[in-house]
């Protein structure tokens, strides 16, 4: 069995996913192909993964590196699973551009990797690369499963599922920890064991629709009471946006408040700058996080490379559990991103939705959810509109579709005029240069 990791220079994430595989009996003897276009980062990942393989796996995995586009097809050849964690353009220059140019127009962002001007641009520079992956996979590993972790999840996964033949599933980190973190934050840890829940919607805005304790008691009444009390106190906390969702929409959602602050027109508003402080919204959070991660990684890397004692315990990431379920036919439930196709009645059929999925030897099987509460479907639709238009832009190479995607983005539309939306898009397309060559005038 062969596992190919695209974007293996994402060393920490590659270590988690591939370390998980080495901790799994059914996967620990796999051939592992590491692919990246950055030689230094690829070499670092190879050293660290070899250390993990030696320390916890008795060297049973076979790890090989593949550098550069000319080696991409070889890295994919005969793969059983392909994990995607690429970031096209990286922090510098692309992430910086995604934040600094919109800021000139008064458009403030927190993460900008899923929605907004930043999310749209990230999708448009990533989809061509993933299209090349798909072309190679259709040729050299047509039966492989493509496990996508790269954001913007709904746009990239939606493209792969609708416009390629690759068996694609979109995976996030937030579904499996959503209710656990909520209950811990509200001092309801005693309700964790044996709880039952239903989560569905779209990536980064999937909804905790139902949650019951082990005895079948509905936990939402107590959650709502405690969340409102916590948000009304003098002490600020890091989840105030999502607790406001509970108050006004009736439900909690999967992804963090710093993410959700920019997925709607309610919180980041130039007319009401006091809302930033009131809801403890960390503007420019992603660039700040990137800088901290880069600095932190250098320190961690040096420590790891000096003593070679790096080890690993299996994480909550879905990837290894999906692979194990397919290889062993031991069913496993995940929250996965798939094309709707009737799974959620009141969302578009071609939208990429996040729903419970069962995994076994046959593959990945999404489950029918039904109709979302109207207000939740409306929130999802406000994001889906921009997502579908961004995918159309990538497929048609129509620059006008980029403008339309940005116009439909809730936060962008609430802050900018149509003329300024066009201007900021034009400036960003130009600034991204060859990454956006399909849209150059």
Active site residues: 173
How far is it, in rounded angstroms, from Cα 75 to Cα 70? 10
411 is in an annotated binding site: no
| Contacts by 233-236, CB closer than 8 A, 24 or more apart | 236/280
Contact of 82 with 6, CB cutoff 8 Å: yes
**Who's near 340: CB < 8 A, 6+ residues apart?**
347, 348, 349, 350, 351, 352, 353
C-alpha angle 49/51/55, rounded to 5°? 120
Contact of 355 with 367, CB cutoff 8 Å: yes
How far is it, in rounded angstroms, from Cα 320 to Cα 16? 10
Three-state secondary structure readout of the chain: CEEEEECCCCHHHHHHHHHHHHCCCCCCCCEEEEEECCHHHHHHHHHHHHHHHHHHHCCCCEEEEEECHHHHHHHHCCCCEEEECCCCCHHHHHHHHHHHHHHHCCCCCCCCCCCHHHHHHHHHHHHHHHHHHHHHHHHHCCCCEEEECCCCHHHHHHHHHHHCCCEEEECCCCHHHHHHHHHHHCCCHHHCCCCEEEEEEECCEEEEEEEECCCCCECHHHHHHHHHHHHHCCCCCCCHHHHHHHHHHCCEECCCHHHHCCCCCCCCCCCCCHHHHHCCCCCCHHHHHHHHHHHHHHHHHHHHHHHCCCCCCCCCCCHHHHHHHHHHCCCEEEEEEEECCCCECCCCCCCEEEEEEEEECCEEEECCCECCCHHHHHHHHHHHHHHHHHHHHHHHCCHHHHHHHHHHCHHHHHHCCHHHHHHHHHHHHHHHHHHHHHHCC
How far is it, in rounded angstroms, from Cα 84 to Cα 326? 18
How far is it, in rounded angstroms, from Cα 316 to Cα 314? 7
151 is in an annotated binding site: yes
94 is in an annotated binding site: no
Binding residues for substrate: 151
* Feature table: binding site for Mn(2+): 172, 204
Binding site, by residue number, is 151, 172, 204
């Amino acid at each position: 069995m062969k596992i190919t990791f695209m974007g293996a220079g994402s060393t920490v994430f590659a270590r988690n996913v591939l370390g998980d595989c080495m901790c799994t009996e059914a996967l620990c003897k796999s051939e592992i192909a590491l692919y990246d276009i950055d030689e230094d980062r690829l070499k670092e990942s190879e050293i660290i993964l070899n250390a993990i393989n030696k320390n916890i796996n008795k060297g049973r995995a076979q790890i090989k590196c593949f550098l550069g586009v000319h080696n991409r097809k070889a890295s994919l050849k005969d793969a059983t699973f392909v994990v995607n964690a690429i970031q096209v353009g990286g922090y510098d220059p692309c992430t910086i551009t995604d934040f600094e140019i919109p800021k000139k127009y008064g458009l403030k962002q927190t993460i900008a990797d899923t929605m907004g001007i930043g999310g749209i641009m990230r999708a448009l520079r990533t989809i061509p690369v993933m299209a090349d992956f798909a072309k190679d996979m259709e040729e050299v590993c047509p039966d492989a499963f493509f496990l996508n972790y790269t954001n913007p999840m709904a746009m990239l996964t939606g493209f792969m599922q609708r416009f390629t033949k690759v068996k694609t599933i979109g995976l996030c980190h937030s579904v499996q920890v959503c209710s656990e973190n909520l209950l811990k934050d509200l001092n309801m840890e005693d309700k964790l064991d044996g709880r039952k829940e239903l989560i569905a919607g779209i990536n980064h805005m999937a909804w905790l629709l139902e949650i019951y304790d082990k005895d079948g008691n509905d936990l939402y009444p107590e959650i709502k009471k405690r969340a409102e009390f916590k948000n009304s106190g003098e002490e600020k906390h890091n989840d105030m946006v999502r607790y406001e969702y509970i108050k006004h929409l009736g439900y909690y959602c999967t992804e963090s408040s710093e993410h959700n602050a920019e997925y709607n027109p309610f919180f980041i508003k130039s007319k009401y700058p006091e809302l930033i402080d009131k809801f403890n919204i960390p503007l420019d959070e992603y660039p700040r996080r990137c800088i901290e991660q880069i600095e932190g990684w250098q320190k961690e890397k040096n420590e790891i490379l000096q003593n070679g004692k790096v080890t690993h315990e299996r994480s909550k990431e879905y990837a290894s559990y999906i692979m194990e379920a397919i290889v062993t036919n031991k069913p496993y439930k995940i929250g996965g991103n798939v094309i709707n196709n009737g799974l959620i009645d009141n969302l578009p059929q071609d939208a990429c939705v996040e729903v419970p999925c069962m995994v076994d030897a046959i593959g990945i099987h999404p489950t029918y959810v039904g109709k979302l509460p109207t207000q939740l479907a409306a929130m999802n639709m406000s994001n889906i509109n921009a997502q579908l238009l961004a995918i159309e832009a990538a497929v048609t190479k129509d620059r006008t579709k980029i403008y339309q995607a940005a116009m439909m983005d809730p936060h962008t539309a609430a802050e900018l005029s149509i003329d300024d939306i066009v201007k900021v898009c034009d400036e960003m397309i130009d600034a991204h240069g060859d990454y956006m060559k399909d849209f150059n005038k």
